[in-house]
Amino acid sequence: MKLKTRGSAKKRVRITGSGKMLFDASNRRHRLIAKSKKAKGRDKYGHPVSDADAGMLRRFLPHSF
Taking the domains of the chain in order of start, what are their residue ranges?
Answer: 7-60
Asked if 57 and 6 count as a contact pair (C-beta separation under 8 A), the reply is no
Cα–Cα distance for residue pair 65/61, rounded to 1 Å: 8
Instruction: Please provide the CATH number assigned to the domain covering 7-60.
Output: 4.10.410.60
35 pLDDT more than 90 = yes
**What predicted TM-score, i.e. pTM, was given to this entire model?**
0.79
The pLDDT of residue 36 is 96
The pLDDT of residue 50 is 95
